[in-house]
Structure 1
Amino acid sequence: MCKGLATLPATCLKSAKDIKHKISFLLQKPEPQTADQKQVKEKTAAAAKRVPTAAEVEKWKESFSHVMTSETGRTVFTSFLRSEFSEENMDFWVACEDYKKTAPSKLATRAKQIYQQYVEADAPNEVNLDAATREETRQNVTNACPSCFTEAQKMIYTLMEKDSYRRFLNSKLIQNLCQTQTAAAEEQKEKKNRGCAENRQVLTGGA
């Protein structure tokens, strides 16, 4: 990642901007986009505009569920997946979440789209499912209901948690975020101390 972060610049503002620009760059990297991928990027655009707080980063390090329940967490994790060429896992997971909210009259059409995009053999963005789950999902799609992707979604969630998430925790991306937040906390502390010292001087001078 940015060289400047490794040496912790004089101010945290520059570090924060470096992180934000890196994430934004990864999210906006030119590449063919499916409707699902475009939708994910639109939904996470706002989250990509800000640097996560120290508390958020610490939460992500506690468990994968904290990453997935955080809009910013999913944005940062997606940028990591993109660096590993496995972004389709998050795209599929998000597509499944959205599918559950699909109107009954549109379930069949949407189920077929998701299946053809991510599940069937040689799909454009095929996710890594075992043969049994793939076949079960194929059969479910023929009689579409809100839960027809449940097992496939669980499998991909587990794959991300057991595989990608572990590498994510040791990645430069997380390390740099932690360094940035540590520097930010130190600068905030220094500002607070300076403010207290100045207030004491004012009070003493006025006595």
Structure 2
Amino acid sequence: NWRSRIVFLLKTNSSKPMLHLIGNRPSADAVNQWAESLDKLLNGTTVFSIFLKSEFCKENIEFWTACEDFKMLTSRKARASKASNIYEEFIKSEAPQEINLDLHIRNDIIENLQEPATTSFLAAQVKIYSLMENNSYPRFIHSNLYKKLCAAARQEVKYNKS
């Protein structure tokens, strides 16, 4: 499947891209747009998530995604349940996927858990987005994985023009 093939690529040192083995790979346009901004990369791709897993910081993208899902909830009951899950998974001390937040942001989240609003995790989400944008994203853009995806995109464009 797509995910296992990307993981395989992360481990491959071959100079010849093996991306032709991947079904449903991203289009050449999508791969090229990823270099424009983190927002373009976050827009529906699992490649960055897989990269973050290889960098041992997958919790950042998973938290960010959970917050995006949380903001879409309209039911107070659903929002309270999801807020509790996000807190247990990412915020509380020693959480399974604890993210790096300062005490002020963490305390604000705890105060809002009883009656969470769609903006309850906004400060934390902005902080994690900033960490990804300033640290993980540049490493991804300079990674062998992204270089291989770009090379495959160039080959695809070249092949399609022939």
Q: TM over 0.5, yes or no?
A: yes
Bucket of the pairwise TM-score, normalised by the shorter protein: 0.7 to 0.9
Q: How many residues align?
A: 151
Amino acid at match of 2:20: A
Consecutive unaligned residues in structure 1, runs of 5 or more: 9-13, 21-48, 191-207
Bigger relative CO (Cα 8 Å, ≥ 6 apart): 2
Equivalent of 1:55, from 12, 26, 29? Answer: 29
Cα distance change, pair 131–77 in 1 and its aligned pair in 2 (3 A): same
CA root-mean-square deviation? 1.6
Q: TM-score, normalised by structure 2?
A: 0.85
Q: 1:136 aligns with which of 108, 126, 130?
A: 108
What are the Cα deviations for residues 61-100 of structure 1, in whole angstroms up to 9, with x where unaligned?
A: 01111112x212xx11001000011111111111111112
Where do residues 1-207 of structure 1 align in structure 2 (5 Å cutoff)? 1=9, 2-4=12-14, 6-7=15-16, 15-17=19-21, 20=22, 49-68=23-42, 70-72=43-45, 75-102=46-73, 103-190=75-162
Work out which of the two has the higher radius of gyration on C-alpha atoms and give 1 or 2. 1
2:40 & 2:110 partners in 1: Cα distance? 31
Deviation (angstroms), 1:50: 1.3
| TM-score normalized with structure 1 length | 0.68
The amino acid of 1:16's aligned partner reads: H
Between the aligned residues of both structures, percent identity stands at: 35
Which structure dedicates a bigger proportion of its chain to helix?
Answer: 1
Gaps of 5+ in 2: 1-8
The 2-side partners of 1:106 and 1:186 are apart by 49
